[in-house]
Structure 1
């Protein structure tokens, strides 16, 4: 349950008493009118943005097969209607849901599951053993197994299992990674903790790690050549095991290992949580209102990286993205720099530049929120407190991005697991029906609405005044809407193969 707010950080704001109830009601009416005007303005700007990007093609991201995706068969008016409905719902939440008792009661509802230490202990042992054996088999078959991507256990487990399926399990059910992490299991038999992990590092190594992994996925043929992927897995294994040995296993996997941090953050969206040593079932996203989910600026940078990497991979596999890369490579620069190195520089520049823009937009929202609230709460504190709801948007993006891949290649993964040494040369690949693609819009909007609700709850937890809590959300709502409009735009139009990557 979110902690009750303190009055020490706010200037001239407090809970209404019997003497000030009339003033508070007047303030609520003012907030309502301001919210209506704000919603109308956002609707207008969104319509303008949609018109401007109407001619640009887009896709929902890179796939294992590297094949272009057909355009989504949903009329343009539906995009406008769904976008308007999302914005309207956001404004509605910010304007009318002002009952603190209701907000806190929803987030305090939970069911504690029976404690079964023996089952949990054996589950941990079996999970660690299985994960280590699976890691060894995946690397071995990457070099010795079939080099056909759709038949390779190495590629299917990595991209269909770990990249697509395991995060879905994590944010829809609960985080299984502490049990399935093979590298953490290996470090339990090694001496660790030779140096103290610097506090100044926080989770910045994990931020650099996740960005590097995404860059490698884009530039190198890790999703099409099993031997290249096996080499990458070996390199990652050496890196993360060495870090755990040097700095202590628990500290390393809590702060610096990108995969562990990724699953921890996605797990905050799930309905199954661990609290004080017990396993509880809560409403999905309830954990996002807790103040200890995000504690440092590096956490914000990591969450924005989760959102941006899916947006980026979606853009570069579109006709617009392909045309942008081709234009640069075929420009006069192409006469001075070979095509492939120039293309890689272009991909890298777009990746880094877009990430900086996404991160800067969120940080600037914190600055604007402080100006609107006019309190002693710093923009840094506001940004930290309202960052966890972005994980709901990231989860919605991921589900929209990988649901089709997970469904289509699950039979191939099953065949490779059943017969890893001799999988069928032509594994079964499903073709989801046309309506399935429309679910991507539902996933994106569901993540957005959950994020809006949790941001609303977090603001009420941070600020004692209802009016201040409402006003603090406006810049962040605008940023969230911007992220969502971009994602819907990427889902709406046909894709293309990313050029010059071979």
Structure 2
């Protein structure tokens, strides 16, 4: 019996539908089976949403600060701070939706191999360390004999624009060049070493104490304004460093006790360029922050917290609120004993130490809370160790926000001092960054925190097998990061001032 036109139509529709379904099925299977494409789609989606949040907050704050002094905000300060904290919280929420372990593993293992460097590494190292020794000698010599104007002093410009600002930026934005440039290691390599064994129990605690001491000296003494004082400080640091490296050996000293070497090594963990098996390798920034060998001791955690706190402290005491706090505490400590300068030094020291203890305690307690919330067999100490590398991204963002303006402003003066170190111009050129430059500081802080959030998220998925446990383990650390964000943004919103009572 012949079929009706309707049946032919339905049959054709079914055949067409079957064809479409087959195409869709094959396309779906191809997309699912193509891991790289699937990961790329997830990555682009996640980054796009985070970029929206970042640009919204950073641009808004940038416009607020662009044409007005820092003491005037176009929006209430509470809203400004809440927006920054909400950005970090929102980024953590968005990161929690990324539960594909293959995607996370792919991002952190992605790399592009570069050229082999073993063949020419030795001459480069000797050239770099030789240059470092020359610069070190000039810094000590010219600090005493050269001009005492800070912006014309080779010693001050090299110390603060290059070593304090530029080299750390180059390290976390590019790669760690300090082992190549370290002048003290170059000197020690010419001397007999290794008379004692470095005590393993000390770990990196000498570096922690050294970093805190360097920051304290920078705050209390006029090393940033009087070249001769800075020259004496550099000479003292050199004596201690060379003596320590000779005593216990360069590898032990610069790997554990020298604060500068440990600082650059930790910042190098954020960098995209690494040295692997004799080759330069390019990775995504912060990829190594999930590695278990970045932080292996409580002293490492203490050092990372010190990196964050010293920048927070330095920023606070150079604001009007910080200066008023110091003046109030000094005036209330007047009990008729000691000069005002002595009391001021004690107050500065007390704030520095107590604030560091609070920052360290907050992070360590987050590790304890994380273990309680997850009920895992993993100890709170190990959890704190694994999440601590993510804080290096925050420290890098703080450093970039704190020192970019200084580096840009004094770069012409630095160039003049390098070209003519023995006779720099009496009135060196300095730059005044535009008003919108202040907005970049906020963006740097937020981007550093966003990278830290992602690193913590990836670490949790590497540490815990359960997805729910991995997500819950991050909550205490996210709260600490939000606290760090609000404090740093609050400091950036305050008008600047000169710290009182200091020479």
8 A Cα contact 2:117 2:280, kept in partner? no
Q: Find the counterpart in structure 2 of residue 30 from structure 1.
A: none
Q: Find the counterpart in structure 2 of residue 228 from structure 1.
A: 229
Q: Find the counterpart in structure 1 of residue 150 from structure 2.
A: 149
Q: Find the counterpart in structure 2 of residue 92 from structure 1.
A: 94
Greater CA drift, 300-309 or 79-88? 79-88
8 A Cα contact 2:88 2:453, kept in partner? no
- Taking a change above 3 Å as real, the CA distance of residues 121 and 71 of structure 1, as seen in their structure-2 partners, is farther
Q: Find the counterpart in structure 2 of residue 379 from structure 1.
A: 380
* TM-score, length-scaled by structure 2: 0.85
Q: Find the counterpart in structure 1 of residue 331 from structure 2.
A: 330
8 A Cα contact 1:317 1:498, kept in partner? yes
Q: Find the counterpart in structure 2 of residue 456 from structure 1.
A: 457
TM-align CA RMSD: 1.4
Is 1:396 aligned to 2:397, yes or no?
Answer: yes
8 A Cα contact 1:361 1:479, kept in partner? yes
Q: Find the counterpart in structure 2 of residue 19 from structure 1.
A: none
Whose helix fraction is larger, Structure 1's or Structure 2's? 2
- Taking a change above 3 Å as real, the CA distance of residues 72 and 415 of structure 1, as seen in their structure-2 partners, is farther
Question: Which structure 1 residue ranges, 4+ long, deviate > 6 Å from structure 2?
Answer: none
- Taking a change above 3 Å as real, the CA distance of residues 416 and 74 of structure 1, as seen in their structure-2 partners, is farther
Shift in Å, 1:491: 0.3
Shift in Å, 1:299: 0.1
List alignment gaps of at least 5 residues for structure 1: 1-58, 60-68
8 A Cα contact 1:72 1:437, kept in partner? no
Q: Find the counterpart in structure 2 of residue 80 from structure 1.
A: 82
- Taking a change above 3 Å as real, the CA distance of residues 332 and 407 of structure 1, as seen in their structure-2 partners, is closer
Q: Tell me the secondary structure at the aligned position of residue 420 of structure 1.
A: coil
Q: Tell me the secondary structure at the aligned position of residue 501 of structure 2.
A: coil
Shift in Å, 1:334: 5.0
Q: Within 1, Cα distance between the matches of 2:168 and 2:333?
A: 43
Q: Find the counterpart in structure 2 of residue 279 from structure 1.
A: 280
Structure with bigger RCO (C-alpha 8 Å, 6+ apart): 1
8 A Cα contact 2:117 2:278, kept in partner? no
Q: Within 2, Cα distance between the matches of 1:279 and 1:418?
A: 31
8 A Cα contact 1:334 1:342, kept in partner? no
Count of paired positions: 434
Shift in Å, 1:82: 3.7
8 A Cα contact 1:71 1:493, kept in partner? yes
Shift in Å, 1:223: 0.3
* TM-score, length-scaled by structure 1: 0.85
Is 1:109 aligned to 2:113, yes or no?
Answer: no
Q: Within 2, Cα distance between the matches of 1:468 and 1:131?
A: 49
8 A Cα contact 2:118 2:278, kept in partner? no
Q: What are the equivalent positions in structure 2 for 1:76-475 lying under 5 Å apart? A: 76=76, 77-94=79-96, 96-331=97-332, 333-475=334-476
8 A Cα contact 2:271 2:286, kept in partner? yes
Q: Within 1, Cα distance between the matches of 2:381 and 2:152?
A: 48
Shift in Å, 1:74: 5.7
Q: Within 2, Cα distance between the matches of 1:458 and 1:394?
A: 18
- Taking a change above 3 Å as real, the CA distance of residues 78 and 347 of structure 1, as seen in their structure-2 partners, is closer
